[in-house]
Amino acid sequence: MPDVAHFWGEDLTASATGDILMVDGDDLTTQRIIRRLMTAVQGYIWHLDYGAGVPAQVGSPLNLDLVRSVIRAQIAIEATVARSPAPVITVTEILNGVSVYILFYSAKTGQQATLSFDVNK
C-alpha cells in the first residue's frame, strides 16, 4: 500500500502538477526504515515499541555492537523486510557520529536493496 513520499529530514515531494507524490516498493521500505531508526525510543505514545533512537547514541560513549543490535531488532519489525537472508548491518564510527550501511531483501519482491546514512551530532 503506497504512502506519502516523505524521506526523513526532507520536505514532502510534489509532482510537476503539484500533487503530493506517493511511494511504494523498496523506496517505501527504505523510507520506513529510516523513520524507525531515527525516531526516539518510545517516540510515539500509541506505539511504545517504535523507534531505535540511533541519534541518541551519538555523543555518548559509543557502543557499535549495541547500535547494530538495536537497528537489527527494529528492522526485524518491518514487515516489508525479508527475514531470510537476514539483513547485513554495518555500523562504523565517524567523526562526531556513526555511518550505517544496511543490505536487506524485500519481503515482497525478494530483490536486494541497500540503505546507507550518517548520523552526526
Rounded CA separation 88/106 (Å)? 13
Rounded CA separation 89/78 (Å)? 15
92-119 pLDDT, tens digit per residue, is 999 888 999 999 999 988 999 999 999 8
Q: What pLDDT sits at residue 111?
A: 92
**Which one, of 14, 40, 6, 23, lies nearest residue 119 by Cα?**
40
User: Domains along the chain?
Assistant: 3-120 (3.10.450.40)
Q: What pLDDT sits at residue 53?
A: 79
4-61 pLDDT, tens digit per residue, is 565 666 666 777 888 777 666 777 788 888 888 887 766 556 666 667 778 787 777 8
Q: Is the pTM of this model over 0.85?
A: no
79-90 pLDDT, tens digit per residue, is 889 999 999 999
